Structure 1
């Protein structure tokens, strides 16, 4: 027998529930790195400014897979937390 539960959520509450469920499913996949869905992605311009690099240098690093990045269509995006970890690793070499 199926039960139907009706509830009222704000847009923000509903989005948070979906975000948590998607994150739980993704994190349950064996071998999948733990991800934080809530972290916003930053643009090439923002990353270049934070890293004190020219955009062209950043694009070169992306094309050579020397820096962690994401693609959305043709757009290159970054997570600041991953860039911070990358900086620590690069400084340690």
Structure 2
């Protein structure tokens, strides 16, 4: 380990700071490069995540109302697919509907039947 004199300390601290910046950038880049883990859930975990009973979830699977994967006799749910399923049921607010209304009228989609 190199010994520094008092006059050399500012330069050494500056070099150390630059090296820390490089390390920090590398760590941040590596975190961004790692894709998010695919979270696979059992029916019990999915029911808990959705705040539904297992029986209700089986009913939704039976009626093909919810995304599910089946391997053998087991059912599996991807958390991302369940989150997308929840988002697909979002009801628009009055403000969103008012904002879309002029475009609907122009395209003819706002006509009552």
Residue aligning to 1:60: 59
Q: How does 1:8-27 map to 2 (within 5 A)?
A: none
Structure 2: runs of 5+ lacking an equivalent: 1-34, 93-113
- Contact 2:69/2:76 (<8 A) preserved: yes
Residue aligning to 2:110: none
Residue aligning to 1:91: 90
Residue aligning to 1:82: 81
Is the aligned partner of 1:50 residue 2:49? yes
- Contact 2:69/2:77 (<8 A) preserved: yes
Once the two structures are TM-superposed, the CA of residue 39 in structure 1 deviates from its matched residue by 1.2
Q: Distance in 2 between matches of 1:88 and 1:40?
A: 18
Larger Rg: 2
User: Counting helix residues as a fraction of each chain, which structure ranks higher?
Assistant: 2
Structure 1: runs of 5+ lacking an equivalent: 1-35
Return the TM-score normalized by structure 1. Answer: 0.56
Q: Distance in 2 between matches of 1:84 and 1:42?
A: 12
Q: Distance in 1 between matches of 2:49 and 2:55?
A: 14
* Runs ≥4 residues deviating over 3 A: none
